[in-house]
Amino acid sequence: MALVPCQVLRVAILLSYCSILCNYKAIEMPSHQTYGGSWKFLTFIDLVIQAVFFGICVLTDLSSLLTRGSGSQEQERQLKKLISLRDWMLAVVAFPVGVFVVAVFWIIYAYDREMIYPKLLDNFIPGWLNHGMVEPINSSGLLGDSHTTVLPFILIEMRTSHHQYPSRRSGLTAICTFSVGYILWVCWVHHVTGMWVYPFLEHIGQGARIIFFGSTTILMNFLYLLGEVLNNYIWDTQRSMEEEKEKPKLE
């Protein structure tokens, strides 16, 4: 019986992300027309990552229901592949990138809102949409994002299902590849347009940019490890509670 609410919850989260993406695309902003479009911004990439991840979660749930009791070894193999893909996505991109986007946004927002989400955006973006989406706002490349919902959604998923993390070496290699790939993409956009995706990069020197990019990669690695520790803690605690409940029965 516990499986059904989890399935419904994942469907609801997936539909919310689809709604956010549709509303996002309906907003006409100058930055949509510049080189790279919305794909310049990590927060938009993260929104797509979360939608794809929860789409895989829903597909996994459906496959699990269809496979249950069928006795088909081929269906079992396909289900295991889906589960492995789901777990890999949560470990390598959904959790670390999602937490990174939320943390960095709110830190910068608290320091100086105009650096990341100017008041001008309030005239374009409804309050409810602001808390679930990301939004590049103008031709200068400023980014207004507010991934408020990403963190609770991903924590709910981590709590409701056990996820098998990949080996630490392969996981860290994957998140490093993602981080370096995005940094190279940001540098390429600057090479083509002469403008940095994030305006504050214009005001710091070359050495400071290298330190900043290196620090973000290190932070991504830390968040990957945090997700691994949190996942293990949640499910080790759950396992201990279940074993504790079973003790009287065994006696």
Task: Provide the pLDDT for residue 200.
Answer: 79
**Percent of the chain, pLDDT > 70?**
72
Instruction: Tell me the whole-structure pTM to 2 decimals.
Output: 0.81
**Highest mean pLDDT out of 59-63, 126-130, 233-237, 243-247:** 59-63
The predicted-structure confidence for 58-103, as pLDDT tens digits, reads as follows 999 998 888 876 667 788 888 899 999 999 999 999 999 999 988 8
Q: How many residues does the chain have?
A: 251
Q: Is the torsion defined by CA of 74, 79, 80, 85 positive or negative?
A: positive
Per DSSP, the residues of the chain read --HHHHHHHHHHHHHHHHHHHHHHHHS--GGGGSTTGGGG-HHHHHHHHHHHHHHHHHHHHHHHHHHTTT--HHHHHHHHHHHHHHHHHIIIIIHHHHHHHHHHHHHHHHH-GGGTS-GGGGGTS-HHHHTT-EEE-STT--EEE--TTHHHHHHHHHHHS------HHHHHHHHHHHHHHHHHHHHHHHHHHSS-SSGGGGGS-HHHHHHHHHHHHHHHHHHHHHHHHHHHHHHHHHHHHHHHHHHHHH-
What is the Cα–Cα distance from 226 to 49, expressed in whole angstroms? Answer: 19
The predicted-structure confidence for 136-186, as pLDDT tens digits, reads as follows 333 333 333 345 678 888 988 988 888 999 999 999 999 999 999 999 999
Q: Poorest-confidence range of 32-41, 126-135, 176-185?
A: 126-135
Per-residue pLDDT at 251 exceeds 80: no
Domain layout of the chain by residue ranges? 3-244
Taking residues 120-135, what's their average pLDDT?
A: 49
- Where does the pLDDT of residue 20 fall: very low under 50, low under 70, confident under 90, or very high at 90 and above? confident
What is the Cα–Cα distance from 167 to 162, expressed in whole angstroms? Answer: 16
What is the Cα–Cα distance from 223 to 104, expressed in whole angstroms? Answer: 12
Taking residues 181-206, what's their average pLDDT?
A: 89
Per-residue pLDDT at 229 exceeds 80: yes
**Highest mean pLDDT out of 7-11, 20-24, 123-127, 172-176:** 172-176
Task: Provide the pLDDT for residue 44.
Answer: 84
Nearest to 51 by CA among 110, 93, 83: 93
Which residue is it, tokens 């602001």? 130
pLDDT, averaged across the chain? 79
Taking residues 246-250, what's their average pLDDT?
A: 55
Task: Provide the pLDDT for residue 17.
Answer: 86
Nearest to 29 by CA among 108, 196, 141: 141
